[in-house]
Amino acid sequence: MEEKVLKILENICGDEVVSEEPDINLVEEHLMESFDYITLLMDLQDQLGVIISPTEYTREEMDTPNKIIAIVKQKLEEA
């Protein structure tokens, strides 16, 4: 699962640094613009079946690869 999320993030952000440094701040580093955030939510749904609505979390709660992985993990356990 982790690998899948990182792969999705690499595609969206266009830089392998998201896998190398999973605590990197995607927003501050301009790796993920708001358009990309919507793509992320759609890809998570398509590829992992995890549904997150755009208003469910703030951008700060989803601004590093590790935070995103933790939320996806939590969602999968709840399901």
**Under the criterion CB under 8 A, does residue 25 sit at the interface with another protein?**
no
**Under the criterion CB under 8 A, does residue 13 sit at the interface with another protein?**
yes
**Under the criterion CB under 8 A, does residue 58 sit at the interface with another protein?**
no
**Under the criterion CB under 8 A, does residue 53 sit at the interface with another protein?**
no
Q: Hey, how many other C-beta atoms are within 10 angstroms of the C-beta on 43?
A: 18
**Under the criterion CB under 8 A, does residue 49 sit at the interface with another protein?**
no
CB of 62 to another protein, least distance (A): 19
CB of 64 to another protein, least distance (A): 15
